[in-house]
Every structure is written in structure tokens, then in C-alpha cells.
Structure 1
């Protein structure tokens, strides 16, 4: 938890308690359903929560914004972002239902009211539109953009236009070239000094 407060100083008491509760909840659920690498659970706040909040460090979502988290797994980046932005609505989608069980139980345990979940593949969603799609290392950028674009609203309500925001790592040159889009790429090393964030990036593709 200390690592979060190193970079974000204005949490409410409720947000602090919600973030603190995540460690025990994920340790408990990870024992039943493996949603986080066993070696990573001790680094939950750095490798999962702070990594997710890199999006919050670069974008200020306005109240009422609707965001879909594609391939949310155990709830990243969606759950940390939902804690950070309590007035923003998050729809967490995954094709593996047991992972959504963890998301729903964690959200319920910490009193998150701004999360909904759906057991589906993103490409099968036809009846909803969102301001942004977010994702964390789920699929190549080409696929993420193909899934995201039809789900994005045309009318913008935030400072930046609607689009896809995803967290990725490694050498992305070939992946970006294959995607046929030109994302804005920002290095997480510029945000966070920990070694974990070397060669980690946030990509933004405008609708």
C-alpha cells in the first residue's frame, strides 16, 4: 500500500481501506482460483495495483465516463481504476467465468458500486458502447483495436478523445507495425522509478 501513496497523495479514507483490503482478498482467492502468478502475489501493489493505476496517472476520467476492461482476468486494471475513479462506470469482461467470480467477490467485499461484469468475449458484445476500452497485456494491439473500435462511442466527454488505452511491455515495434494504427506510446519508467516498470508502456489509440 505504501507504494501507492508514494505516487498518489489524495486518496480518501475509504479508498485507502479499499486498497488495503485487496492483499488479503487476493491471497485468499488465489488459493482457490489462480488468477495471479504465485510469485507475484507478494508484489500485488507494485506489479498489479500500481501498474493498473498507471492509467490513472496519465488520464483523468470525468464522472459518468463508461469504460470496458477487455480480458480483465482477476480484475486488473479494472478494480484499481474503479477504486480510484468512484464516479466512473467500469464493465469488466472476460471469457473465463471463474475469474469473474473473483472480480465480483472482491468488488462486493470492498463495497465497489461502479463495477459490472460480463462473461463474454469482447467481439461478441453488440448492445453497448463505451467511452474507453482498457486492457492489460491480454492480446496483440491489432486484436485489441479490432475488438475495441466497434465498442467506442463517437461523442467525447473527456479531455482526450475516446479510444483504447492498454498496458504492455517489451519491444513493441513489430506489434505496433502489425496493428496498422499509430498509438501514442508513453513509458512507465517516466512515471514510476521501480525496476519492474522498465520496458513497460501505456498505449493510447484514439477512436
Structure 2
């Protein structure tokens, strides 16, 4: 069986993402932390390391080229996905990782400390109650909620030129029809994952906020 490192490097190459050994080391260290904390904190139902590399690390990084600006918030970050992998590859970008589950934010805070990620802050809060002084260039969600709920609860976090990235499985046509906002749906090809993946991209100026 391929090693996690081999799967990770070949997957990043397939995605066209340049990497350093330091970045690979941090990703693998992050994986070990998830494994270590998983039993007590129920971070993920995925148990095999190789599957975690594909379904967590590479899947998170498949959206890398769509992240814009210098301030990013990951809503419903859970175990730190996709926020931590993205932060490892975008060290010049400030990431806020938000989740309402205290156990999960404790884990993510520990991971940030152990991985020495100086560009990440962790916030324990419901998204509706989170009102930062400065808005964000990119709001990203992964398996968080249906699109109508995502737009309703996150629109207040977007800056004037901000963009919402909603990572999904299959093309959410019914959800898009319900929200009736201008959007782009881009297929994401996660190496080693046969299931459909896509990202719905919605610009702030397409969202009318009451």
C-alpha cells in the first residue's frame, strides 16, 4: 500500500500545487494529530490514514486556487478542514477558523499551536453570533449546510469585493434554484476520489443583504 507521503505528494502534483518538504511534514503531522484526538473528540468518521489524505487533505487543497484576498474565514471548520491545509499553503493569508463545537475548536487550537501556524486564529462561536471588526475577502464552507442557509448566515462576513466558496459534492442544482443568485459552479477533481466534488462561487455583490 502506498504511503501517506507518496499519496500526498503525487496528489499535490496532480492538482498542480507546488510543495515543500516543510509543508508535507506539516500536513502529515496534522493527520497524526487528527488520528490521536479522534477517538475522544469524534473529529471524523474516516479512520484509515490513506483515506484521510485523499478525503481530507487533498480534498481541502483542491479549492486552493479559488481562495482570494488576505483574510479568509472557514465556517464550520470541524477538525480544521479545509482551513488548516489551506493555511499551510497560503502563509501570507490570515485565516480564521470558526466552529460552534467547543471540543473541535479545542482540537484545532492545539493543532495550530503544534504546527506553529502563525497565520491562523481559532474562534468558538456560532456563525450568526460572529461579528468581527474587519470583514473577509473569502468565506469558505465545506459540508456545512444547504446553500440558502450558508448565504443567510455568512453574508454579513463578506467584504465589498468578497467571495463565498461553498464546497459541495454533486452539483447542488436544487439549492441553486432556491437561492436564485448569480453563481459559478466549478468541478473539483480530488486525486484518488471518484465521488463528485464541486465548489459554488458567489460574489458578495450578487447577494442582497437586508
TM-score relative to the length of structure 2:
0.85
Instruction: Give the superposition deviation at 1:59.
Output: 2.2
Structure 1, unmatched stretches of 5+, are 157-161
Closer/same/farther in 2, CA of residues 108 and 67 from structure 1, 3 Å limit: same
The reply to whether residue 120 of structure 1 matches residue 125 of structure 2 is yes
- Provide runs of 4+ in structure 1 moved above 6 Å: none
Partner deviation per Cα, 1:90-148 (whole Å, 9 max, x = no partner): 10111111000111111111111111111111111223311110010110111111122
Q: How well do the aligned residues superpose, as a CA RMSD in angstroms?
A: 1.8
Give 1:205's aligned residue: 202
1:95 matched to 2:100? The reply is yes
Which secondary structure does the structure 2 equivalent of 1:131 belong to?
strand
Give 3-state SS (helix, strand or coil) of 1:28's partner. Answer: helix
Deviation of the 1:41 alpha carbon: 4.9
Cα distance in 2 between the residues matched to 1:206 and 1:60: 12
Whole-Å separation in 2 of the counterparts to 1:144 and 1:40: 30
- In 2, Cα distance between equivalents of 1:166 and 1:32: 29
Q: Is the 8 A contact 2:12 2:18 kept in 1?
A: no
Aligned twin of 2:66: 59
**What's 1:84 paired with?**
89
Quote the Cα distance in structure 1 between the aligned partners of 2:95 and 2:49: 24
Give, in angstroms, the shift of residue 38 of structure 1.
Answer: 3.7
Using the TM superposition, give the Cα deviation of residue 43 of structure 1 relative to its aligned residue in structure 2, in angstroms: 0.9
Q: How far apart in 1 are the matches of 2:132 and 2:139?
A: 15
Report what 1:170 is aligned to. Answer: 170
Give how far 1:7 is off.
Answer: 2.9
Deviation at 1:71, TM superposition (A): 0.6
Q: 1:202 to 1:9 in 2, by over 3 A?
A: closer
Does structure 1 conserve the Cα–Cα contact (< 8 Å) formed by 2:141 and 2:166? yes
- Aligned partner of 1:27 among 23, 32, 35: 35
- Residues 125/9 of structure 1: CA separation in 2 closer, same or farther (3 Å cut): closer
| Partner of residue 157, structure 2 | 151
1:195 CA drift (Å): 3.7
- Shift, 1:83, TM fit: 0.4
C-alpha separation between the residues in 2 aligned to 1:33 and 1:6? 32
Deviations 1:72-94 (A, max 9, x none): 11101100110010110010111
Kindly tell me: are residues 125 and 109 of structure 1, through their superposed partners in 2, closer, same or farther at Cα, counting changes over 3 Å? same
Is contact 1:61–1:88 with CA below 8 Å preserved after alignment? Answer: no
Q: Distance in 1 between matches of 2:50 and 2:91?
A: 26
SS in 1 for 2:62: helix
Is there any run of 5+ residues in structure 2 with no aligned partner, and where? 1-7, 205-210
- Asked whether the 8 Å contact 2:163–2:202 carries over to 1, the reply is yes
